[in-house]
Structure 1
């Protein structure tokens, strides 16, 4: 696979003839013991062990990969079925993705059996971070949740049950009588994709590039196949592929390996190995024999040109080389395409899209071009860079930089067990999870000759799909290599040393508070430091600068945005690329964001590299050079992103909501302009104003800093004092308060022509802040109404029951210092269904207000919310951000402890009373953006 690309990128009938089931308590029930063979009861067999990850095989053919890691109190389960859109036949496109959705519906012993929870209820009750995804060669279901036996037992039992006992019920998919079901939800997901002209264009490029292979078809499938899917065929597809001998279960996190292996074998090992045989697919794409073209004409805010090329399968050695080549070509600011198109203002951005594939793959290089710019000129520049590498050979400096970038992302992945476990999904899709490590090792062996040869072999005219066909007298074709024997590649592979694990850290508010040291620098900058041993000796830091006053920031919103955005694009000593290279060499993941009111800088690196990374960050913050070329490039890109979003329903609705709730006058630093006015304001920014803003407003006397992870506390304090202890801004800082704006009951309709999906927002301001007595009750009310992932009143009605929307829910934003909270609900749908969505949303809100919630709902909401909070506190970067934010308001983790206690003590009467007091149905304003010509049709 292209490892660097993968890491950076970075949905009640028993199956006939099957007797196995697993109940929610984790007990395996043998309803027909005669069906169980003696071999199915055998102990698991160890297959291999690489860098602390061990693979076993059960007697029924199921593969089990275990990765124990006690450094965080979470467990990640990831079950991968080796089936994707590549396995779909005529009339079956989108079938693998439909099954992904339907496996979240009730199964025999999870939701169908009386008194049991459905898969979604199980996932929500554990506070899990979960999802299901479908791609060309595989489908996976993953979840990260607090490590305890109840959670793990439920999760494994649920996966075992839905492996064989998912209902795949006609009424779940589409009920002809009620005209509702999951089919319309998936169709809406299809419609959302159809509203993205650039995404559609890349799909068309790939479709034209392939004559026969299913890699040329979008995984979501054809609309006709989604709408007319045949239930018996869908069940047959499920029965064929959702079997133990076609599955890999990965379990990572805090657990005892021997105990979990026994539990897995008890649950999954008794499932009989099916007698059917999965025949390998054998359709091979013929060699492309000339350039191809496709043109898409749709509404949109920007132009796009893309060039796609057939490439080696992910397990082939060429694939790793191509990953490095793509970084050399597209990385900002040194990438050849970036320099040829973005720096010259022919394009606002360049990109590269590829996927991990078992069979010969595909890659697309693209450029986003402003409406008023010359698309032909951008196309010529794109192709000149891509197909002229022979005349301008790759340099050793370019290769070294790409390798270091790859090393950084690999190291970051290895230091995060949950993310690594999910990332290994793509290695499995390519043939084996060990390919991740094998390709990491091969990375170091790639030579300049290898990269040059790959560029000349694959990036040629006759292998390209772009925009036109030109006959040629001499055939010059690319013979793409077949998939190598992966088993022989990984057979004796042992890997490198296991990454050192950290301490078993308790993420409770009490323990976090006990371990956190707070202090301040001489200039007033506040510190919160939580030192602990972490896997790979990682550490995350968060620095927040707070700037200016309401009066001094008048008219400076855009200037402040430019200042923050240009900080890491050059210092008095270093150029932009040198800054990036330096952070990469330190294996430091760095993010700087903000605007006129403040800037947030975060770093994730290792103990040994922290001091150097902070030195470099200080240089970036204190001594930016603001190069003219970078200023112009940033301006063009920023304006281009807004112009690209202008025709889109979500962008228009979101902007309308911002303007509807905005209580500030024009020129105020928080004033929300229209999208066209935002573009005009961006284009009017001057470089000298940016430089002056930095000189006057930047300093750390009102800043906060936090660190969580492996570091020397005393050394860090000393360094921070040296770097920031005397840095003061010329312009003082005073927090700008927020005020409530009365907007009750308004209706805004926006027309977005030729968009297949519409976007609805329902908005209701609430005059409370987060220390209000009613806040815990309102939070739980929102969780049950629309805040719970997939499972809530709004999701149950509009998504699950009505099948009108792929994405629907609500959120509650309650600030800490001003009583200006906001409740909002949202829904994506087809324009012709928006009126139904609005009616259903209003009905569910009114029902919640009039009838209230139940005790059972509240119990589940409390449990899911609490465990979600626990998972959140295990993420060091997020915890660092929380501690830094708390410093500014003089808050400690005792707030979290007290808040959790308040939530735990809530009664359903208190929740219902709070909702009725604070949310009024007639005060809800609604914003709808969509193609109004399709409404009601």
Structure 2
């Protein structure tokens, strides 16, 4: 929605932050710090001004993550300040010191960056390559962000509308609305009852001076920390960060404190929401103590037997047995002061919402009273401890957990939580379930009166010193082989292993990985155009159903066996993927191959999958953005009537799903589930003999009945109807605006590298023209950009230009997208723009080499398309040789005379 600029409140003026700067003429404080704590091979230090530095080195990593943590969120917001912590997060990506745009500065470093706000904290973080100079610059950026921000009233005018657009997107999401309602009902007084996004009135009308005051009150050195994880020189980082952040002046006033507590009340709260969402939802929340309390950890662990997707009783009861729901969600939302156990169930729009909610509540509270078994507790404990162990090879995720613990009082609480999970008893778990999961400690759809009920009383938090006294933890990070530094180096490491002519081939990257994990991908290319022409829908459902058990094991048992092996696997008509510790790969592969050979295909799960697919299509038929997108796709239909790739209307898609029965599912499995054409990709500590042994297991499977032949696509059409598409529906505050074109080019075309860079400059990164115009300058859009999806074989690449804005701004946004495209076509790109784009491309490619879990996917894709690591290296050399003239010419060649279909899906 549009709004007045309110120049009275938003006159441009830089933010003055004298509170955080040294007094003029005074010398900066010496870079003095004291060791505060050590645990698990990590350490924390405290500066004289109270600022904390937490160092978590992972020597085997290839990247470093730098996080500025400020302990302020929606909990600390006062009257009229709702959403201010989140709004301030957006503002602190603007200018700082001599830096005109922090987002551009971070992007120029090749960083993957973001910022998030919760009830308890705001954090700013980026991941960069483990280069000392790059890490230094990232720390300098964070120091400038913290100490010398210079956001202005003009910045607020622009960014306020972006945040409001984000609010409108959430207001149109039924799941977000339900969760926020549960939070409001669960807390009478505490700040957790407020949404982080804030009230529309506060976002739109908060004075700039109020934002300044909020910043000065909370962004102070004794309320913040720097967390660095991954590959870095600890002494170098400590010396630099200590010197930089020591310049933050500690105010004379004490740090703002919070003291509001919730009173124990014998209540069940209810509210009802109404939205044209295409489905109904029943949800409930049970209040728990804070995340440091042993009882909360007990409920969290025990509730796995209720909530687990593969073996939890909630899904089994409501989805499979009672068939009241098509989906459930369940889990503990843990926070420092209080926590919630959240549970929800969803069904189609014609379902009985009262019956759905009643069944959900009865099952959860009956589960709590009955308790869990020793076997269930040990399974849940094993899964949680496996998850802790996996963090040892994922420093970014580990750092996020340390940050969460630091907000709760001390980063070492993470290790304490792990210890509690390891030694919780069955009696503790079941007592905690019975104490907290009761009807008078709940928020859902009904307020009940209960005479004489005594609700549980929240305990007072123990002193942190008592929680951590006398504890120590072993080092976490493990060693691994050095990561590749270039695509050419990676290409040289690939070992091609012929297996059975065109029927099967394999590629191996042999290396000792972080955490000694290994990855296996068995891609089974199946079917042909004639065999799949009318069976795409049924065989897609059949492929999904294969994940629900086989080899004599149902889904729950199969998941349990994989969990015991610390393995993650997937299975379908298209093959198998597996991740596990190297020692467990063979056992995990045997489980998945047995399931692939004899899938269970349970009828109940089929009916649930079908119902969920239909519910999604029903919702799509009410969504103007999806209706518009579907209409655009059909504008490019130049396929024969029986071609498998021919686009279908949403109504046709719904009819296709309705027509599928279990007999057709079984026919798909019979025709396509055997071996057709195998691409075996393996990454980890393997030998050539190990890979050949995997093939020996595979070759025992029967061949597919239907032969494989690649389905040939059709080249991009000409003479497309490019009249604009517009779809409007009531009660949709947000609009999706996009332009789609199909281009007669493949990724192997000599022009493709230049076209790739042209689209990137147009809208492919944070400094691109479209994003800069719509988000940064105009403040209209939360998201805006352009993307190019290259085709593998036939010339049918897809260009999309899109943005998401308030419905009232849809026409303005569409005009701006067209203007930016026209400007690029007319004026082209500068050498400076192209140089920047090439530099970022190189940095992103370098960073991608450090993601070991992505290597197996690229191996498999390369065997299919021919675009292996050697091809990628050649492609990058072509990128490096590009100049502005070639990039501009590619854009003009493929877009100047190409039909673009523009569409708008919005609210009335």
Task: Flag the 1:492–1:60 CA change in 2: closer, same or farther, 3 A.
Answer: farther
Task: Flag the 1:130–1:652 CA change in 2: closer, same or farther, 3 A.
Answer: farther
Indicate yes or no: 2:28 matched with 1:36: yes
Q: Quick one: distance in 1 between partners of 2:286 and 2:778?
A: 42
Indicate yes or no: 2:903 matched with 1:903: no
Which is worse superposed, 300-309 or 884-893?
Answer: 884-893
Q: Quick one: distance in 2 between partners of 1:922 and 1:767?
A: 10
Coordinate RMSD, CA, aligned? 2.1
Indicate yes or no: 2:58 matched with 1:80: no
Which residue in the other structure is 1:102 paired with? 91
* Paired residues of 1:348 and 1:637 also in contact (CA < 8 A): yes
Indicate yes or no: 2:725 matched with 1:736: no
Indicate yes or no: 2:337 matched with 1:336: no
Indicate yes or no: 2:267 matched with 1:278: no
Describe the superposition over 1:758-793 as per-residue Cα deviations: whole angstroms up to 9, x where unpaired: 1112111111011111111111111111110x3211
Which residue in the other structure is 2:383 paired with? 405
Q: Quick one: distance in 1 between partners of 2:77 and 2:373?
A: 43
Which residue in the other structure is 1:3 paired with? none
The ranges of structure 1 where at least 4 consecutive aligned residues each deviate by more than 6 angstroms after the TM superposition are none
Indicate yes or no: 2:138 matched with 1:146: no
CA positional deviation for 1:921: 7.2
Which residue in the other structure is 2:58 paired with? 69
Q: Quick one: distance in 2 between partners of 1:650 and 1:539?
A: 41
CA positional deviation for 1:666: 5.2
* Paired residues of 2:31 and 2:239 also in contact (CA < 8 A): no
Which residue in the other structure is 2:535 paired with? 556
Aligned 1:669-708 pairs, distance under 5 A:
669-708=644-683
* Paired residues of 2:165 and 2:782 also in contact (CA < 8 A): yes
Which residue in the other structure is 1:914 paired with? 890
Describe the superposition over 1:875-932 as per-residue Cα deviations: whole angstroms up to 9, x where unpaired: 122221011110123343121111111111111111111111111377221111111x
Q: Quick one: distance in 2 between partners of 1:776 and 1:750?
A: 35
Q: Quick one: distance in 1 between partners of 2:88 and 2:575?
A: 42
Task: Flag the 1:292–1:31 CA change in 2: closer, same or farther, 3 A.
Answer: closer
Aligned 1:329-728 pairs, distance under 5 A:
329-343=306-320, 344-352=322-330, 354-389=332-367, 391-522=369-500, 524-592=503-571, 599-665=574-640, 668-724=643-699, 727-728=702-703
Which residue in the other structure is 1:178 paired with? none
Task: Flag the 1:351–1:145 CA change in 2: closer, same or farther, 3 A.
Answer: same
Q: Quick one: distance in 1 between partners of 2:131 and 2:82?
A: 39
CA positional deviation for 1:489: 1.4
* Paired residues of 1:36 and 1:272 also in contact (CA < 8 A): no
Aligned 1:684-833 pairs, distance under 5 A:
684-724=659-699, 727-739=702-714, 740-742=716-718, 743=720, 745-788=722-765, 790-833=766-809
Indicate yes or no: 2:16 matched with 1:15: yes
Match of 2:842 among 866, 890, 893: 866
Describe the superposition over 1:125-177 as per-residue Cα deviations: whole angstroms up to 9, x where unpaired: 22222210000001111111222233212211110001021123100011xxx
Q: Quick one: distance in 1 between partners of 2:725 and 2:563?
A: 47
Describe the superposition over 1:384-436 as per-residue Cα deviations: whole angstroms up to 9, x where unpaired: 11122365332223222222222332222332112221233322232222222
Which residue in the other structure is 1:50 paired with? 39
Q: Quick one: distance in 2 between partners of 1:249 and 1:709?
A: 34
Which residue in the other structure is 1:242 paired with? 219
Q: Quick one: distance in 2 between partners of 1:257 and 1:715?
A: 39
Match of 2:141 among 153, 158, 166: 158
Q: Quick one: distance in 1 between partners of 2:118 and 2:626?
A: 28
Q: Quick one: distance in 1 between partners of 2:25 and 2:524?
A: 67
Q: Quick one: distance in 2 between partners of 1:232 and 1:719?
A: 66
Aligned 1:175-254 pairs, distance under 5 A:
181-254=158-231
2:282 aligned counterpart, secondary structure: strand
Describe the superposition over 1:344-371 as per-residue Cα deviations: whole angstroms up to 9, x where unpaired: 2100111125433111122321000211
Give the number of aligned pairs: 892
Task: Flag the 1:316–1:302 CA change in 2: closer, same or farther, 3 A.
Answer: same
Describe the superposition over 1:54-108 as per-residue Cα deviations: whole angstroms up to 9, x where unpaired: 2222222221122222323211112211111111000000000001111111212
* Paired residues of 2:625 and 2:904 also in contact (CA < 8 A): no
CA positional deviation for 1:497: 4.2
CA positional deviation for 1:698: 2.4
Q: Quick one: distance in 2 between partners of 1:66 and 1:225?
A: 37
1:367 aligned counterpart, secondary structure: strand
CA positional deviation for 1:665: 4.7
CA positional deviation for 1:645: 4.1
Which residue in the other structure is 2:9 paired with? none
2:164 aligned counterpart, secondary structure: helix
1:41 aligned counterpart, secondary structure: coil
* Paired residues of 1:544 and 1:884 also in contact (CA < 8 A): yes
* Paired residues of 1:94 and 1:226 also in contact (CA < 8 A): yes
* Paired residues of 1:759 and 1:929 also in contact (CA < 8 A): yes
Q: Quick one: distance in 2 between partners of 1:537 and 1:93?
A: 46
Q: Quick one: distance in 2 between partners of 1:298 and 1:102?
A: 32
CA positional deviation for 1:619: 1.6
Unaligned runs of 5+ in 1: 1-11, 21-29, 112-117, 175-180
Describe the superposition over 1:468-509 as per-residue Cα deviations: whole angstroms up to 9, x where unpaired: 222222223122223332333124321134342212212411
Q: Quick one: distance in 1 between partners of 2:638 and 2:752?
A: 23
Q: Quick one: distance in 1 between partners of 2:627 and 2:411?
A: 43
Q: Quick one: distance in 1 between partners of 2:337 and 2:638?
A: 56
Task: Flag the 1:225–1:547 CA change in 2: closer, same or farther, 3 A.
Answer: same
* Paired residues of 1:709 and 1:876 also in contact (CA < 8 A): no
CA positional deviation for 1:683: 2.7
Task: Flag the 1:862–1:483 CA change in 2: closer, same or farther, 3 A.
Answer: farther
* Paired residues of 2:63 and 2:127 also in contact (CA < 8 A): yes
Unaligned runs of 5+ in 2: 1-12
Q: Quick one: distance in 1 between partners of 2:310 and 2:772?
A: 46
Describe the superposition over 1:318-377 as per-residue Cα deviations: whole angstroms up to 9, x where unpaired: 221121233221223432211221112100111125433111122321000211222222
CA positional deviation for 1:713: 4.3
CA positional deviation for 1:727: 4.6
* Paired residues of 2:281 and 2:346 also in contact (CA < 8 A): yes
CA positional deviation for 1:32: 4.0
Task: Flag the 1:448–1:640 CA change in 2: closer, same or farther, 3 A.
Answer: farther
Q: Quick one: distance in 2 between partners of 1:496 and 1:645?
A: 51
Match of 1:167 among 137, 150, 159: 150
Task: Flag the 1:630–1:650 CA change in 2: closer, same or farther, 3 A.
Answer: same
1:211 aligned counterpart, secondary structure: coil
Task: Flag the 1:592–1:869 CA change in 2: closer, same or farther, 3 A.
Answer: farther
Which residue in the other structure is 2:235 paired with? 258
Q: Quick one: distance in 2 between partners of 1:921 and 1:482?
A: 70
* Paired residues of 1:136 and 1:219 also in contact (CA < 8 A): yes
Q: Quick one: distance in 2 between partners of 1:358 and 1:390?
A: 23
CA positional deviation for 1:735: 0.8
Describe the superposition over 1:230-251 as per-residue Cα deviations: whole angstroms up to 9, x where unpaired: 1111112112222322212111
Task: Flag the 1:537–1:308 CA change in 2: closer, same or farther, 3 A.
Answer: same
TM-score w.r.t. structure 1 length? 0.92
